[in-house]
Amino acid sequence: MLTSWKKQEDLQFLNEVSSVPLQQSLRHLQTAFTNFFAGRAKYPNFKKKHHGGNAEFTKAAFRFKDGEIFLAKSPQALAIRWSRQLPQGVEPSIITVKLSPSGRWTVSILVDVEIERLPESSNQVGIDLGITSLVTLSTGEKVAPTKSFKGKKAKLRKAQKALSRKQKGSNNRHKASVKVAIVHAEISDARNDFLHKLTTRLVRENQLISVEDLSVKNMVKNEKLALSISDASWGELVRQLEYKCNWYGRTLVKIDRWFPSSKRCIHCGHIVDKLPLNIREWDCPKCDTHHDRDVNASKNILAAGLAVSVCGANIRPDSHEVKGQLQKTRKASRKA
């Protein structure tokens, strides 16, 4: 079909670029439909031109020589400002050129390298994810979130208001939309930079990392907390921990989301019935131990992670207990 499209008068622009990125885009479309019919994704939709895009070049469509990249049907080498140099003696296998909505071009180069494992460490840490403190470690350390969205909220609001005043289809509206995209890029860059530095530090310092397996998709349905949860980006933090642990030979343990980490006393194991979110400190009614809610939760997460890692213990609450909690929740919702 691609060959026949190139012969049509209204699609002559397809001949101006290499056939490889066109073929790759069709392969990506096939993958999207496969994921849709398998129930893993929504129905594929058309991408808008002004929202950027990417072109993927395999080995047949580029040349890498003396640190310079020449793409097929492009007479000059790409003017790249390198974020880091490629390892010596390594040849790229795939090059992806991407245009973001903010107008920034990026080049992603895929190479096959052997990642050196970090030396083993005796440190182990449990991580409790939160909003006031992005992560609370079992060591007692608390890391505040960047709140990158809230820091740029006024600037973003101003740019979006300016965009809403522009006439649709005009050149001024296009310029205003680019300004909005630039603010979004600044928010994303600040958040990703902070998360990469934090996750790299945690992986370098600890041999075992234990975290909760949170359902962020369901948690953002809470209208009061959705903005703060999305800004904290818990899912991205856990994703980075997961692949970095695989790279550097560390162990990441995900604790069941039903595990009562906050309500369980780390000293005696007593579990309180209720512990609202507004209570940040509490005393155990059985052993009178004073707890910081987040620190206690992170210690419980570490203990559960060690139990799972060492002996494969099942820390999921009993099914009758979970069923009873669900029935209580339903009764409370009916009364409300």
How confident is the prediction for the chain on average, in pLDDT? Answer: 88
The percent of residues above 90 in pLDDT, for the chain, comes to 56
Q: Write down the pLDDT at residue 185.
A: 93
Q: Write down the pLDDT at residue 4.
A: 94
Select which of 10, 294, 318, 321 is catalytic: 294
Select which of 66, 128, 281, 321 is catalytic: 128
Select which of 114, 120, 193, 212 is catalytic: 212
Q: Write down the pLDDT at residue 333.
A: 43
Q: Is the pLDDT of residue 172 over 70?
A: yes
- Residue 311: pLDDT band with limits 50, 70, 90: low
Establish how many alpha carbons lie within 13 A of residue 199's alpha carbon, considering only the half-sphere containing its beta carbon: 26
Q: Where are the beta strands (DSSP E) in 41-160?
A: 53-58, 62-65, 68-71, 94-99, 105-110, 124-129, 135-137, 142-143
Q: Is the pLDDT of residue 330 over 50?
A: no
**294 carries an active-site annotation:** yes
- Residue ranges of alpha helices (H) inside 91-225 are 148-151, 153-165, 171-205, 216-219
Find the range with the poorest average confidence among 92-101, 258-267, 306-315: 306-315
- 82-117 burial, b at 16+ Cβ within 10 Å, e below that, comes to eeeeeeeeeebeebebebbbbeeeebebeeeeeeee
**112 carries an active-site annotation:** no
Mean pLDDT computed over 210-230: 87
Mean pLDDT computed over 261-267: 89
DSSP state of 139: T
Q: Write down the pLDDT at residue 86.
A: 85
- Give the C-alpha separation, 326 to 336, whole Å: 15
- Residue 273: pLDDT band with limits 50, 70, 90: confident
Closest CA to 235 of 211, 252, 259, 251: 211
pTM of the model: 0.82
Between 335 and 262, name the one with better pLDDT: 262
Q: Is the pLDDT of residue 164 over 90?
A: yes
Q: Do 172 and 166 form a contact (C-beta atoms < 8 A)?
A: yes
Q: Is the pLDDT of residue 187 over 90?
A: yes
- Give the C-alpha separation, 14 to 22, whole Å: 8
Q: Is the pLDDT of residue 198 over 90?
A: yes
Q: Write down the pLDDT at residue 313.
A: 57
Determine the distance from the C-alpha atom of residue 234 to the mean position of all C-alpha atoms in its chain, rounded to a whole number. 7
**128 carries an active-site annotation:** yes
- Give the C-alpha separation, 122 to 119, whole Å: 10
- Residue 151: pLDDT band with limits 50, 70, 90: confident
Residue 295 phi, psi (nearest 5)? -65, -40
Task: For residue 255, give the H/E element and its range.
Answer: strand 251-255
pLDDT tens for each residue of 69-78: 999 998 899 9
- Give the C-alpha separation, 20 to 22, whole Å: 5
